[in-house]
Amino acid sequence: MSTRARDYSQLVAREICEALARTDEAQIETLVDMIEEAGNIFVGGAGRSGLMMKAFAMRLMHIGFSSYVVGETTTPGIVTDDLLIAGSGSGQTRMTQALVEAAAARGARTAVITGHPESPLAAAADHCVYVHAPVVFVNAERPTRQPPGTLFEQCLLAQCDAMILMLMDRRGTTEEQMRLRHTKFE
């Protein structure tokens, strides 16, 4: 019996919708408020979560925020009134936790988006957004049929894009304004 490509696409879409439907709106609103109040916004994460956060930084820049990816050569130092947003499915990535701790030590506010709200990383941050797509390990109950970590990463990108839409609405940002900030080297 063959499974059609559309069946897999619908499975992925359904899992993302089910996970994001469980996200606490108050947690999202608080993070969006923190973004609007920040001087500069820094994003960080490791592996595929880091890639999703890079996409978020780009979109933040497109709507007019000063946003940076931690670790890039042109990223300035983080200071008081800045915000670090870290993404980590497991909430246990030591490198990402070190970023949160370093930002806090410099007086910046910190937020984490994770699939494990009781994790060390969540405990280290000022604010936590819990995305109901936990990264599971061997012999754990699996909320997804996708490879480990995949659902979290998809939800991280989708939730960040939803926050971009919220920020666009709050700020009255138009697509044309975003296009003006888009790279013109292509």
Tokens 């497991």 appear where?
A: 90
Which residues partner with 59 through β-bridges?
none
- Tokens representing 114 are 């994770």
87 SS3 class: strand
CA dist 101 and 179 (Å) reads: 35
Segment 138-143 long-range contacts (CB within 8 Å, at least 24 positions apart):
143/15, 143/19
37 is catalytic: no
Residue of 153, 175, 176, 186 marked active site: 153
Which residues belong to the active site?
153
